Structure 1
C-alpha cells in the first residue's frame, strides 16, 4: 500500500487529464414528496486508489475491481453530487462543494447552480453532512465571505466541535492536516450564522438528521420523503456496496465506518428507501438492491 500524502489529496495529482473528460454539470432530477430534488455536479475528485482500497485485503478486492474495470487502477475519479431540495418555501442545499481551493477538477457548483437557474442568494438553508474539503470549502466566496449570504447554515454538534477543536490538527494524521486547518478557517467565517443539531432532530421541516459516524466523527445523513441523503457514509458504488464490511481508507474510523454502512443498508432495505450519494454515479440518486450477500447500486431511471 502506498503512503497517501497531503499533496496527493490536495492537488489530485493522480490524473488531471482523466478529470478533464468528466461532465461538468451533470445532474439528476426527481420529485420526492413535496420536494423537487436535484443533484448538482461539483466536478470530481482525483484520488489515489489506495486511499480507498489500501486497507482491504487484495483477495477480497480482486473480484470487485475486476467487475468494475478497476484492476490495476492507480487512481479513482469519484463524482461530487450536491443535493438541492426546493419546496415548502425553502431552497435547501446539502453541503457546499469544494470551492477553488481543494482540487482543480472540483469546484463547479456555482456553474451547476447557474445552469439550473438558482442563485446563491436564493438558498435558504445549507446543511452539512460533515467537514471534509469537498463538502465544506465551497461555503465562502472569493472574498472569504459566506457565499450563501442569505442562508442559515447547519452542522451536527459533534462534527462542528471536532473541526473547531485545536487538537484536531495534531491528531488527524499528516495527510489530512490541511483538512483540519481549512475546516477551522471556514467555520470561523460562519461564526454567528451556523447552528447545530443532533441525531434525530428535524433540521428543516421534513428533513431528519441521522447520525452516521465513521467517515468523520460526527458525520450526518438525512432522511427526507422516503430517501436517505447519505453524504459519504456509503462512499462509492463498488466496494461499499459489494463488500460493505471491508475497511475503507477514506473513513477516519474504519471500524465505525463499517458498522455504520451495515446499519444504513439494513435501514434502507427494510424501509424501501431511495438513496442519494455524494460520490455515487449517474447523479447519485438511486436504490440499493440485495445481490447475494451484499448489495448493488441501481441508478434512478
Structure 2
C-alpha cells in the first residue's frame, strides 16, 4: 500500500500543479488582484481583516478543481481542510494559504498547518523525565483519518503570496506554490515520524474546557507548592511546572504541565499549530526510489 500511495501522491502533485499553474488559473487570480486594486479603499473600510485575498483564493481553488476533477462526493467530516472531496482513488484535502510578503515574508519558508490538515503523528518534542515523573513531551495528534472508505487521504497546500502596503494603499501578487504534505505511512517510512520542524502556537486548557473534564484542570492564579519547575526545551531556563499530583487529561502515563499564559497558569496539552520546512518535503521518493518534487513554485509576473 505504501508504494501505491507514494505513486498516487506524485501523480496528484502533477495533476494539481497543472491546474494551479495554468494560464486559466493565473488569469483568474489576476482578476482577483485587479478587483482588490480597484476597490482597495472600499475593502479597507468594510472588510474587518487585512487579508483581502484569502477568501477569493479559496473560491478560485474550489472552482478550478471541481472543473477539472471528477468529484464523486464531498467529505462529510468538518474536521478537514478547506476543501475535502472524494475522487475515485483518493480523498483529497486541499488548503489555501495566503502570505503577505510585506511583514510576513518569513512565513514563506515553511508550511503552517493545524491538526485537522494532516494524517501523521509526529514524534513528541521535548519528552523527558522530571524528578522521576514522566513528561510526555509536546505532541501534535493528527485529526484527519489516514484512509476514508479504503482510499488514502492526501493533503496538499496551495499558497498565494502577495504584497499589501496599507500606507500606500497598493496591492500586488507575487508568486504561488503547491506542496504535498506526506501521508501517515510515508512519514513513518521516509521521515521516521520526524517531519515537523517546530510549533508556531501551543494549545492549553481554558476555563470552558476544564469545566467539561474536571475542575482540577482550571487555570490558576498562582504556583502550587508541589509543582516542579523545569525547562521544557532543556535549555536550563525554567519555563514550566510539572504537576506530580495531576495526570495529563489526554495522554496516559504522563503528568500535567503548567505554563503561565495570559497572566494565569494553564495546562499545556498539545502543539496548537505546526510548521514543516519546505526544503524537507521538496525531494520525495516514488515506489522505485526515484526522486520527484513535492514543492513547486511559480512567479506570477
Same fold flag (TM > 0.5)? no
Q: Which structure has more strand as a fraction of its residues?
A: 2
Q: Which has the higher contact order (CA 8 A, sep 6+)?
A: 2
Q: TM-score, normalised by structure 2?
A: 0.23
Q: TM-score, normalised by structure 1?
A: 0.23
Larger radius of gyration: 2
